[in-house]
Amino acid sequence: MNGGDTALDHARARLLGPAGLDDATISRALGVLAAGGADIAELFFETTSMRGWQLEGSRVTQGGFSMRQGVGARTAHHGQVSFAHSADIRAGALLDTVQAVRTLERRGAVTNHPHGIALNRRGADHHLYPVIDPVAVEDATTWIAILKRIDERARAHDPHIVSVNANVRATDTTVLVAEAGGLLVGDVRPMTILSVVVVAERNGQRARGQAGLGRRAGLDGFPIDAVDGMVATAVTMALNNLDAIPAPVGEMPIVLGPGYPGVLFHEAVGHGLEGDHHRKHLSAFDGKIGERIAAPGVTVIDDGGIPGRLGSLGIDDEGTAPDRTVLVEDGVLMGLMQDRLNAGLMNARPTGNGRRQSYAHLPMPRMTNTFLANGTADPADIIASIDRGIYATEFDGGQVDIVTGRFNFTTIAAWLVEKGRLVAPLRGATLIGVGHEALRHISMIGNDQALDTGMATCGKQGQSLHVSVGQPTLRIDRMMVGGQAG
């Protein structure tokens, strides 16, 4: 691919050329798809290839390559959606797929397009990430060298490290969207993820630490100092957890550190601000646009246009450019995240949040990079304000009920705070609460806003996607903490 090629050029070369498709064929297929007078008629082409290696016991034990390719065809008419998909994107199979959708619609030909749909090509040119294929590496030497460095650095940090598991995974996703309004747009989405899990052992007791890095880049997008920092984070977490004491139980103030702890609000609040949940009256924030839902100073933003982040998109999976959507401003609910379907049904505008796991899935409103904005407090002052409570910096898992906002999240890195000082690392601390209540109990917001390191994923209705989460250090005055015995 030449340096001057656009994302659309690359998408057409990767998807259309090998299948013997051209713009005229897509135009005709769209004409058939749109003949039923649908509000939405679109084709979504995708090809994704993945390559990965795994290190265990100081040896690279696994390597693999996989790929998927296909097309999804969708129509929507007054909220009624018809959808079909195929792993075969050649002309005959494409026509069969759109005919299957027309059959599902069970509507006669309302609008005929005998000459197809005139397409308006757009390149979706942006500077969020490079138009590269990080998977197209014939020599695995560099990848394996990174894994071995991770292993060696982890073991050299401390003799108590007894196990190191490291992974590297590269993904190349190329998409092309064509819709009945004439839009033809493509995007190339590189992604590389490094991760490490270490186990420390002392006197027969074991503890785990983990860390990772993810970026929309190739392996050359990971400076060595960043890789070494990832290893140090995992080792420090494991060693701290060796010394961890049981978490206290009861209601107390909580301090959440910057970066990944934003996943708590992503899950407990963010999903409730997606358009489909509002349209179906399933959100705890239903009907509260323009009302105060959080403490003053709380501003929540979803922004799919942050360079290099895993939640960033040159276009969403409906061809809409990403937006910077202010969801909550100074505690007041201001907006929602929308795809085309729900925006149309709610008389709103799409915000570039229409996302899908693959060509075989329907798009829906999903978060991209969602974060709490900076405040003004010094993080040290926030911790110093706690008489007795918990400071949490990493979570290991959690559950949330989107309708009620009830959540529980288990920490993997947390500290007991007494008299404004970090006293001891904790094990088994589970934070329990209700998202909209937690928003109202935020009393201090730090000036150290950060996004996660690139490991966040999001699940919704069986679909999993990469996202980014973030926040500054913040204090929540009241939250229930559950612990574990021992």
pLDDT band at 115 (very low <50, low <70, confident <90, very high): low
Q: How many domains does the chain have?
A: 2
Report the pLDDT averaged over residues 7-16. Answer: 92
Q: Are residues 145 and 252 in the same domain?
A: no
Q: Are residues 126 and 189 in the same domain?
A: yes
How far is 381 from 257, CA to CA, in rounded Å?
13
Q: What's this model's pTM, rounded to 2 decimal places?
A: 0.94
Q: What is the pLDDT of residue 4?
A: 47
Q: Are residues 217 and 297 in the same domain?
A: no
**pLDDT at position 1 over 60:** no
188-230 pLDDT tens trace: 999 999 999 999 999 999 999 999 999 999 998 999 999 999 9
Tokens encoding 363? 């798009």
Q: What is the pLDDT of residue 114?
A: 60
87-113 pLDDT tens trace: 999 999 999 999 999 999 876 655 566
Residues paired with 389 in a beta bridge: 417
Tokens encoding 118? 């005139």
Residue type, 349: R
Q: What is the pLDDT of residue 109?
A: 56
Instruction: With beta carbons less than 8 A apart as the criterion, state whether 466 and 457 touch.
Output: yes
Distance from the first to the final alpha carbon of the chain: 59
Instruction: With beta carbons less than 8 A apart as the criterion, state whether 411 and 396 touch.
Output: yes
Q: Are residues 169 and 214 in the same domain?
A: yes
Last residue of a domain, one of 217, 242, 267: 242
Dihedral sign of CA atoms 277, 281, 284, 286 in order? positive
Q: Looking up tokens 């998109």, which residue turns up?
A: 313
How far is 229 from 467, CA to CA, in rounded Å?
22
Q: Are residues 197 and 269 in the same domain?
A: no
Judge whether 1 lies within some domain: no
40-71 pLDDT tens trace: 999 999 999 999 999 999 999 999 999 999 99
282-307 pLDDT tens trace: 888 999 999 999 999 999 999 999 99
Calculate the average pLDDT of the chain. Answer: 93
Report the pLDDT averaged over residues 370-385. Answer: 98
Judge whether 60 lies within some domain: yes
Q: Go through 14-52 and write b for each residue having 16 or more CB atoms within 10 A of its CB, e for each that does not.
A: bbbeebebeeebbbbbbbbbbbbebebbbbbbbbbbbbb
Q: Are residues 338 and 190 in the same domain?
A: no
Q: Are residues 343 and 404 in the same domain?
A: yes
Q: Are residues 224 and 276 in the same domain?
A: no
Instruction: With beta carbons less than 8 A apart as the criterion, state whether 339 and 319 touch.
Output: no
Candidates 415, 418, 416; CA nearest to 388 is 418
